[in-house]
Every structure is written in structure tokens, then in C-alpha cells.
Amino acid sequence: MNTPNEKNKGGRPKKSVKRSYRLRVACTALELEIIEAKAKQVQLTVSEFLREAAFNSRIDTRQKTLPKEVLEFTGQLN
């Protein structure tokens, strides 16, 4: 506990891991409403909901190049 020389200042105890970074996300009003509704549905804050979605969801990578067949076809056009 507290020794006679230590005073308990009170207040909330410090968290072991502080979240000190903030992200800004651009979305439409409709997208915001959907995100807020989904977060409320599972009883999470929007921050908690987005964190859970980021860590626990699977997103397939987009294919940024054209398929091989299309590239070969465009090469033949020249």
C-alpha cells in the first residue's frame, strides 16, 4: 500500500499501453451512419469497432496489373 511518505494523488490509474496516435478516415455521411450503427449493434465504440475490424477481418488484395492474357493481346496490337 502507501507508505507514510507517499501520497495517493487519486484519479484514474495510468494505462499500461497508451494509445497516442490518431487516424483520420474520410467517409460519406451514409458510411459514417453505417459504421456507427454497426458499432452500436455490437456495443462497441467506433474506435473499438474499427480496431476490431482492422485486426480480425480478412481483405483480399486487389490485382493492380492486368491479367497476362490482356497484356499479351495488347502487345500484339502494336
Q: What is the pTM of this model?
A: 0.61
CA distance 51 to 45: 10
CA distance 37 to 31: 10
pLDDT in tens, 1-50: 556 677 777 888 888 888 899 999 999 999 999 999 999 999 999 999 99
CA distance 46 to 25: 12
If we measure between CA atoms, which residue out of 14, 13, 17, 16 comes closest to residue 51? 17
Where along the chain do its domains lie? 23-57
What mean pLDDT is reported for the chain?
A: 86
Per-residue model confidence (pLDDT) at position 68: 76
Per-residue model confidence (pLDDT) at position 1: 55
